[in-house]
Amino acid sequence: MHIGAHVSVSGGLWNAPINAAALGCETFQFFSRSPQGGVVKPITEETVVRFRETMKSTGITTSYIHAPYILNLASPLDRIFKTSVSIIRQELERGSLLGCKAVMFHPGSSKGQSKKQGTERIIDGLDRILNEYSGSCQLLIENSAGAGNVMGDTFEEIATFIDGTKQGEEIGICLDTQHAFASGYNLQTAEGLDAVLKTFEKTIGLKKLILFHINDSKIEFSGHKDRHEHLGKGKMGKEVFKAITQHPKLQKKDLIIETPFDSGREKDIALLKSFRKV
Q: 3-class SS at 38?
A: coil
The Cα–Cα gap between 241 and 173 comes to 18
Percent of the chain with pLDDT over 70: 100
pLDDT tens, 5-27?
Answer: 999 999 999 999 999 999 999 99
Average pLDDT over every residue of 246-259: 96
**What is the model's pTM?**
0.95
Average pLDDT over every residue of 134-140: 97
CA atoms within 13 A on the CB side of 119: 15
pLDDT at 62 exceeding the cut of 90: yes
DSSP string computed for 134-176: --SPEEEEEP----TTBS--SHHHHHHHHHHSTTGGGEEEEEE
Question: How buried is residue 70: exposed, middle or buried, by Cβ count under 10 Å (0-12/13-18/19+)?
Answer: middle
pLDDT, the chain, mean:
96
The Cα–Cα gap between 156 and 209 comes to 14
pLDDT at 277 exceeding the cut of 90: no
The Cα–Cα gap between 233 and 226 comes to 16
At residue 84, the pLDDT reads: 96
* Residue 142: closest CA among 229, 218, 210, 197: 210
Percent of the chain with pLDDT over 90: 93
Average pLDDT over every residue of 58-67: 97
Beta bridge partner(s), residue 28: 5, 63
Domains of the chain with bracketed CATH: 3-277 (3.20.20.150)
The Cα–Cα gap between 34 and 56 comes to 25
